[in-house]
Structure 1
Amino acid sequence: MNKVITGLVALAVLALGYVTIKSVLNPVQFDAKQAEREAILQKQLKKIASYEEAYQSIHGRFATAEELADFLANGRLFYIRAEGEVTEAMREQGLTEAEAARRGMIKRDTVWVSAKDSLLKDGTDATKLFDVLTTGNKIKIDTAYIQQEIGKDTVNISTVQATIPFEFYLSDLDAQRLEQKKDALKKKANSFPGLRLGSLTEVRLTGNWE
C-alpha cells in the first residue's frame, strides 16, 4: 500500500513539475515565435510603405492593394537625368535652372522606367506582397483622405494604413497567451492587436513597432 501511495505521490510531483515547466516555457516559446514572425512581416510592411510612396509620387495619392499590385506589374516611374549645373555666372545673369535648360546650357530630361524593374530589383514577388507568411491570410490595405489647412485653403490629403491582426499569424500558438497579449493592448490608447503601418487619420508611414 505504501509503495502505491509513494508511486502516486511521485507521479503527482512529476505532473506538477511538468505543468510548472510548461507554464514557464509556453510564454517564452510564444514570444520567440512571435518575434520571429513579426520580423519577417515588418520588413514586408516597410516594403509596402516604400511602394506606396512611389505610387503617391506619380498619382498624388496612396493606392489600394489592387492598385498597388497593378502599379508594380504595369506602372512606370520617372527620374530627372541631369547634365550640367547652374553656375554662379548664370545666376548673375538672372537665369533659373529651367531657363538655362531651355537655352541648352544644361540638360534636364525626364526618363520613364518600369516600376517593376525599378522597385522589384531585389527579387520581391509582387503577387505575394500581401501574403501573411503561409497562413492564407492577406495584409489589409485601407486608404482615406483627411482635411488639412494650408494657408487659407483646406485641402484633402491622402492617407494609407496596412494592418495584420495577431490572429492572422499567431492563431496556431497558445490561445491563452494570445488573449493575454490582446488584453494588455486594450489598456493602451490607440493600440492595435497586431502589426499596423501608417494611419488613416495622420500623414505617416511608420509602424506601431517603431
Structure 2
Amino acid sequence: MRTVIQILLVVAAVVLVFFIYKSIQRPIEFDKAKDARYEATVEKLKEIRSAQLAYKDVYGRFAGTFDTLVSFVIHDSVRNVKAIGELTDSMIEAKISEKKAIEMGLIIRDTIKVSVLESLFGKDFDANSLRYVPVPGEKTEFHMAETVITTGSGIQVPVFEAKAHNNVILRGLDRQLVINLNAQRRTNERYPGLKVGSLTEANNNAGNWE
C-alpha cells in the first residue's frame, strides 16, 4: 500500500513539475514566435513604404490600393541620375559651380529611367507579395489607404497608412496571450499590431516599431 502511495506521489510530483515547466515556457515560446513574425512583418512594411515613396515621387501622392501599387512596381519606372565625375578642389577654388562644370563638359549628370522593380527590390522580387502579411495560413492582405491632410499651418500633405492587426500577425499562436498583448497595447493607447504611416498626422511615414 505504501509503495502505491509513493508511486502516486512521484507521479503527482512529475505532473506538477511538467505543468510548472509548461507555464514558464508558454510565454517564452510565444515571445519567440511573436518576435519572428514581427520581424518578417516589419520588413514587408518597409518594402511597402519604399514602393509608396517611389510612387509619390512620380505621381505626387500615395497609391490607395495594392493593385495600383503592385502595377506601379512591375510596370513603371523612376528617374535616376547617373553621375560621372565630381567637382575637384581646383574647380571649387576657381569658383566653378556644378552647373558650370556640366556646361563645360568637365562632369556629367545624365538622367535615365530605370525599372521600379529592379531599382527598389531586384528583378526577381515578387511584387505581388507586398500586399500579404507574411504569416502562415490563409493569405491576408495588409490594410492600406491614402489621403491628403491639412496641417495646422494650412499645408496639404499626402499621407498613407499600411497596417496589420495582431490577430492576423499572431494567428495560430496562444490566443490568451494574444488577447493580453492587445489589451496591453490599448491600455497604452498604441495600435495592437504593426503599421507604417498614418492617415491622421504627418509622421514622416514612420513605423510604430521605430
For the superposition of Structure 1 and Structure 2, which TM-score range results when normalised by the shorter chain? 0.7 to 0.9
In the TM superposition, what are the counterparts of 1:4-153 in structure 2 within 5 Å? 4-64=4-64, 65-81=66-82, 97=99, 104-105=103-104, 109-121=110-122, 123-133=124-134, 134-135=136-137, 136-148=139-151
Separation of aligned partners in 2, 1:74 and 1:160: 21
Separation of aligned partners in 2, 1:170 and 1:142: 22
Q: Which amino acid aligns with 2:141?
A: K
Give 1:76 shift: 1.6
Separation of aligned partners in 2, 1:115 and 1:67: 13
Gapped regions of structure 1 (runs ≥ 5)? none
| Deviation per residue, 1:94-146 (Å, 9 max, x gap) | x994x997xx5456554222222322317321011222224311122121211
Which residue in 1 is equivalent to 2:198? 199
Separation of aligned partners in 2, 1:85 and 1:15: 74
User: TM-score, normalization: structure 1?
Assistant: 0.82
Give 1:160 shift: 0.8
Separation of aligned partners in 2, 1:51 and 1:71: 8
2:44–2:133 contact (8 Å) kept in structure 1: no
Change (3 A) 1:17 1:57: same
Q: Which amino acid aligns with 1:79?
A: N
| Deviation per residue, 1:126-173 (Å, 9 max, x gap) | 0112222243111221212110366xxx34211111111111121211
Separation of aligned partners in 2, 1:8 and 1:85: 84
Separation of aligned partners in 2, 1:91 and 1:61: 39
Give 1:91 shift: 7.2
2:82–2:109 contact (8 Å) kept in structure 1: yes
Which residue in 2 is equivalent to 1:176? 176
SS of 2:151's partner is: strand
Q: How many residues align?
A: 201
Which residue in 2 is equivalent to 1:187? 187
Which residue in 1 is equivalent to 2:158? 158
Give 1:90 shift: 9.7
2:133–2:141 contact (8 Å) kept in structure 1: yes
Separation of aligned partners in 2, 1:141 and 1:89: 51
Separation of aligned partners in 1, 2:143 and 2:69: 12
Separation of aligned partners in 2, 1:179 and 1:123: 38
User: TM-score, normalization: structure 2?
Assistant: 0.82
Gapped regions of structure 2 (runs ≥ 5)? none
SS of 1:79's partner is: strand
Change (3 A) 1:3 1:166: same
Give 1:198 shift: 1.1
Separation of aligned partners in 2, 1:105 and 1:149: 46
SS of 2:158's partner is: strand
SS of 1:163's partner is: strand
Give 1:89 shift: 9.8
Separation of aligned partners in 2, 1:27 and 1:84: 57
SS of 1:129's partner is: helix
| Deviation per residue, 1:57-84 (Å, 9 max, x gap) | 1111111222111100111211344567
Separation of aligned partners in 2, 1:169 and 1:81: 41
Aligned-residue CA RMSD (Å) = 2.7
